[in-house]
Amino acid sequence: MAGKPVRPVNAIDQTRRMLSLVTYLKERPGARVEDVARAFGISEDELVSDLDVLPMCGTSFRGGDLLDIDTDGERIWWHNPDDVAEPLRIAADEATALLVAARAVATLPGLRESDRQALLRATAKVEAASGEAAGASARLSVTFEAEGGVFADVDRAISERRRLWIRYYSPARDEVTEREIDPIRLVSVGHTYVEAWCRRSEARRTFRLDRVAEIKILDEASAPPEVELRDLSEGLVQPAAEDPEVVVEVGPGGRWVAEYYPHDSADELADGGLRITLRTPDPASLRRLALRLGRDGRIVSPPELADSARQAAREALTAYDGVEVQESHGTRVVQERQGDRQEQGL
């Protein structure tokens, strides 16, 4: 089987191909992998990737209603084409949700006109088949957040293989930078991200769409190096063994850190807290975690990161009127000029 990397592809193109693939396989039982890949103009690796997704598709989440498609590496077999071939009647709530979503997507800026027209034709057919539900859906509308326009531009750039210029806000550094990126793919893991080759850092980076302050599609062709696509099933942040090690101690109120941050170890402390060892390619990004934890945690190492977190806390505190900051044996005590309340922090 071919071993070259999977080419970048946008979601619309892949969905269109997989729908065609279902029809193709139904008419050709036992089709050869190499023949199908050649017919669709894709590599065998891309075809196998599609075949891994198809068994999760069907008319419901019951096992018998999913596509039972597999391959032995040479041929492709569909074992239950007749079981899932019967058309279903769409329910009123399903029709309403589908029509509202379709009308909203049709208004997205940057959507290719051919795709928009195809979507509008499909929407008209659903309206005709939905009866009264179509009238109910007409009274509903959807307004996309700001990232909708960014999504459309990124999707278009991937489709047309063009480079992007972005102004991007990095909360870890609290700064806005300008970058040129070669987009590779869009991914959704809680938020929507674009995985891209960043020309500024000359490395693969992931950018969250709602942090893109400005975006432009450039005339230059997008030419990211051939990279192996990461498996994001375990989450977007997957530390590497060579990443710097950070040790954080949290009290009982900060135990949630072990649930939300991938870590190497989490050892119990006598007070009910945890000593958490984790790795991150950007240790400075944990300063915000330190400020968020407050009295519920502190960075132990590396020492320069702990010092940086304390300095960030001092700067935040001095921004408040009437606050004095004192240092005592590594622990900061905040005393308000009015009142006796004290807070112990990182």
Cα(first)–Cα(last) distance of the chain, in Å? 55
Between 125 and 213, residue with greater pLDDT: 213
Q: Which two tokens stand for residue 48?
A: 């196998």
Identity at 139, one-letter amino acid code: R
Judge if 92 and 124 occupy the same domain.
yes
Question: What average pLDDT does the structure give for the chain?
Answer: 76
CA-based torsion, 110, 115, 118, 119: positive or negative: negative
pLDDT at position 86 over 60 = no
Q: Are 187 and 193 in contact (CB under 8 A)?
A: yes
Beta strands in the chain (DSSP E): 31-32, 69-71, 75-78, 162-170, 175-189, 191-198, 203-208, 212-221, 245-250, 265-268, 274-279, 297-301, 323-328, 331-336, 342-344
- The order of strands in the sheet holding 323-328 is 323-328, 331-336, 342-344
Evaluate whether residue 327 is within a structural domain: no
Q: Could you tell me if residue 344 is inside a domain?
A: no
- Residue-by-residue DSSP string for 134-167: HHHHTT------THHHHHHHHHHHHHHTEEEEEE
Q: Is 1 domain-assigned?
A: no
- Is residue 111 located within the same domain as residue 165? no
CA distance 109 to 218: 17
Query: Cα 280 from chain centroid?
Result: 18
Mean pLDDT of 162-169: 94
* CATH value at residue 158: 2.30.30.100
Domain extent at residue 275: 245-318
pLDDT tens track for 187-237 = 876 678 888 999 998 888 888 888 899 999 999 999 998 877 766 655 555
pLDDT at 1: 44
Residue 332 lies in a domain: no
**Residue finishing a domain among 114, 134, 154:** 134
Instruction: Say yes or no: 179 and 249 in one domain.
Output: no
In this structure, are 24 and 124 located in the same domain? yes
Residues 46 and 129 in one domain: yes
Q: What is the pLDDT of residue 331?
A: 39
Residue 118 structure tokens: 């195809």
For the chain, the helix, strand and coil percentages under 3-state DSSP, each to the nearest 5: 40, 25, 35
- What pLDDT, on a 0 to 100 scale, did the predictor assign at position 137? 60
Same domain as 101, residue 19: yes
Q: Using the 3D structure, point to which of 103, 134, 165 is the last residue of a domain.
A: 134
Our CA angle for 107, 108, 110, nearest 5°, is: 125
Which distant-in-sequence residues (6+ apart) come within 8 Å of 345 by Cβ? 294, 295, 313, 332, 334
CA dist 275 → 261, 264, 282, 329, 345 (Å): 13, 11, 20, 21, 17
Q: Quote the pLDDT of residue 332.
A: 42
Q: What is the pLDDT of residues 32-69, one digit of tens each?
A: 999 998 888 888 888 888 888 887 777 655 555 678 88
Say yes or no: 257 and 160 in one domain: no
Q: Indicate if 213 and 251 belong to the same structural domain.
A: no
Residue 132 has pLDDT above 80, yes or no: no
pLDDT above 90 covers a percentage of the chain that reads 13
User: Amino acid identity, residue 95?
Assistant: A
Query: Does residue 101 sit within a domain?
Result: yes
Q: Residue 342's pLDDT is what?
A: 34
Residues 163 and 99 in one domain: no
Measure the CA–CA gap between 235 and 231, rounded to whole angstroms: 8
Cβ burial of 272 (10 Å; 0-12, 13-18, 19+) is exposed
Do 20 and 112 lie in a common domain? yes
Q: Are residues 154 and 255 in the same domain?
A: no
Boundary of a domain, candidates 206, 221, 236: 221
Whether pTM > 0.85 for this model: the answer is no
195 and 118, same domain (yes or no):
no
User: What's the CA dihedral at 287, 283, 150, 52 to 10 degrees?
Assistant: -130
The number of domains in the chain is: 3
Residue 135 above 70 pLDDT?
no
**56 falls within a domain:** yes
Would you say residue 345 lies in a domain? Answer: no
Q: Is residue 75 part of a domain?
A: yes
What are the beta bridge partners of residue 167? 178, 214
Closest CA to 5 of 184, 237, 171, 264: 184
- pLDDT at residue 147 greater than cutoff 90: no
